[in-house]
Each structure stands twice: as C-alpha cells, then as structure tokens.
Structure 1
Amino acid sequence: MRLKAQRRNLAIGLGAVTALGLALGGVAFSESQSPEVVRLGKGLASVDAKKVADIEPRTTIAERPTTEPEPAASESPMADGEASYYGSELAGNLTASGEAFDPSQLTAAHRFLPLGSKVRVTNPRSGQAVVVRINDRGPFHGNRVIDLSTAAARKIGLIRSGTGRVRLALLLD
C-alpha cells in the first residue's frame, strides 16, 4: 500500500514539474518573439521603439574635439568614475534642493558636493564636456560617481550606453 502512494506522489510531482517547465518555456518563447524585447548579452531587455537618430544627434569625426579641454584655473579636478543618467520617468519629482526635476535641464545628482555646485563632466572617450549644476543626492547604485539629467548625458554622448566613464572637475567661483 505504501509503495502505491509513493508512486502516485512521484507521478504527481513529475507532472507538476513538467507543466511548470512548459509554462516557463512558453513565456520565454513569447517574450523572445515580441518586438519590444531584444537580446542583451546573455539575457533579455525591453526597449522603447524609437529610432536611434531621434535619441542622440550624430556627430561627424570633424565635429568631435580631438583633445580634452584643458582645465581652467578656476577648476579643481576630482575623481574619475562611472556616470549614469535618469530621465523622464522621474520628471516632476522633487530633488534634494527642493526643485522639481526637469530632464531637459543641465543638472546632476552627487553624493556629497554642496547643492548648487557647478561641475564639468567630461567623457574621455569622445572628449565632449558639459557643465552641470548639482541639485540632487545620489547615485546610490553601484560605484557610480554622478547621475546626470537626460540633457547632460546627451551632450556628452552617454544616451546610447546609459552609463560610461567620466572625469569630474569642480568649477570654482
């Protein structure tokens, strides 16, 4: 009698595992066929259906600076590190300075610089630089040193990659 119960439990367990495997396989297959999901490395990522040309203006080789700008006497070089940007999903939220976040402004979040500080952020790969005003606290993800607004990230060419190495210099008044 005991053997029959064990066989029945085994059959039920195998059936449940098989059904779960088929369900998960069907979900993965349907997601991979969706136009909103693309393969990114070993996993999948969802994307907005936008033309790349609409996201970031193209620059020709002639338009790109050949060298990084020399630090001015009124600049104090700071740490290099990873930068990211945040955009329209946070538009209107209050920043640490009390103002509403606007992704079209040249602003950024830094962990400890005084609010209102001006920082030159340079992308060493392209040589492009932008001056941003610190109006928020962060980033609090990984080893990132600064979170840029969408407009600032676009100016230095970080829109496509989402993150990138940057050099920071505090502008002194």
Structure 2
Amino acid sequence: MPIERKMSFLIGLILTFLLPLSMPAETEPLEGFASWYGGKFHGERTASGEVFDTNLLTAAHRTFPFGTLVKVTNLATDKSVIVRINDRGPFVQDRIIDLSKAAADAIGLTPMGVARVRLQIVQEVKPATFLTLQVASFSNPTNALRVKNRLTEAGLSPSIEKTEAGIHRVVLEHIPAEKIEETKARLAELGFPPPILRRR
C-alpha cells in the first residue's frame, strides 16, 4: 500500500474511533470543495475495510458513518450523483469529500480535479460494527495456508496474520456483528472448533 494511503488509512481509523460518527448532518458544512481519487488506490483497502473500486459510486468523508448515502452536486455543472461513504478523507484543507473516479465522472468533476460542491444526506445509517474470528493458529506456515485454502474453497474470505513470535493465524476479518453467529455455524459445519472472537 502506498505510504500516503497508509497514512490516510491510519488517520481514518483514528477519526472513526475518536470523532462522533452519529453527529447530526446539520453540523457538517453543506458546501465546500470536492476532489477525486482512483488509479493507484484502486484495489487498496479503505478505512471501512472494503476494497476500493474506483468504478463504483463511493466517497470518502471525515465523519459521516460508513454506508451513509450522500447526494453530491457540482455547483459548476449542476450535475448530481448519489454516493455511499466507505472511506475516510480528504485530509486536505478546505475539501469536504473525496469521490471515486466514477462519481467524479458523473458530475463532470474529473477534468477539473477540484470543484465546489453541495452535500445533502439522502440516507444516514448507524456505524456498523465489524469483528474478527480467529479460526486457527500454527507455527508452520504450510498448515496455515492449508486451512486458508480450505476456507476459501468453502466460500469464505480468510487471511493469514503473522505475529512477531512467528505464529501464523488464520482469520476471518471485517465480519458484520449480525453475521458472527452465522459464520460460527458455518465453521462448525466445516468441522472447525469454536473460533476466537476478536474486536479487531
């Protein structure tokens, strides 16, 4: 991940936990400058945990809860688009939202780079809670990879964490809280022992 995106990701996580995400929309500036991002960030993980797809109508905002739908109007072209907030940013003075390239294209912002916009919340949601299940841990990376492949074949999305002590943990990350019991049941069906529930 590029160093500047790592910084944005870390700042986004800090804002996620320290800022009041349920802040009423009327306390936010309704007009300001918007920019867009894509290219090298396509395929990178956003602050919400989603993989960024510059072809989708999404955006980064400093405080709106993830999943919030926002109507963005380019005041220069009078074109509007509805985007879903799934990232944190922009971290540049005077800018209030950072759009995916698809969203920027929709309102004629792409060639401008930066334009003054008006924001209007269409649908605000409560911040989602995401959890992690640790399925197994091994000192031998081959065993961890074997379990990871088995989970992948079962339709899950596992990853492997390596600790400083050389332990390889097979985990399922970014699981919505309401899906935890369903995921545990699926693991039991596959013959795995009860996983360890982690908050991050």
**TM-score of the pair, normalised by structure 2:** 0.47
Aligned residues: 99
Once the two structures are superposed, residues 93-149 of structure 1 have per-residue CA deviations (whole angstroms, 9 ceiling, x without a partner) of 100111110000000000000000000000112110000000000000121000000
CA distance in 1, matches of 2:120, 2:54: 22
- Which of 112, 116, 126 aligns to 2:77? It is 126
State the 1:78 CA deviation: 5.2
**TM-score of the pair, normalised by structure 1:** 0.54
Gaps of 5+ in 2: 1-24, 125-200
1:79-98 → structure 2 map (5 Å cutoff) = 79-98=30-49
- Seen in structure 2, the aligned counterparts of structure 1 residues 121 and 169 have a Cα distance that, compared at 3 Å, is same
- Which of 106, 115, 139 aligns to 2:57? It is 106
- 1:153 corresponds in structure 2 to 104
CA distance in 1, matches of 2:90, 2:55: 19
**Residues 83 and 144 of structure 1 are in contact (CA less than 8 Å); yes or no, is this contact kept in structure 2?**
yes
CA distance in 2, matches of 1:147, 1:126: 17
Say which structure, 1 or 2, has more relative contact order (CA 8 Å, 6+ apart): 1
The higher radius of gyration belongs to 1
- Structure 1 vs Structure 2 CA RMSD: 1.8
CA distance in 2, matches of 1:123, 1:165: 6
- 1:168 corresponds in structure 2 to 119
Structure 1 or 2: more strand by fraction: 2
SS in 2 for 1:146: strand
1:54-93 → structure 2 map (5 Å cutoff) = 79-93=30-44
SS in 2 for 1:167: strand
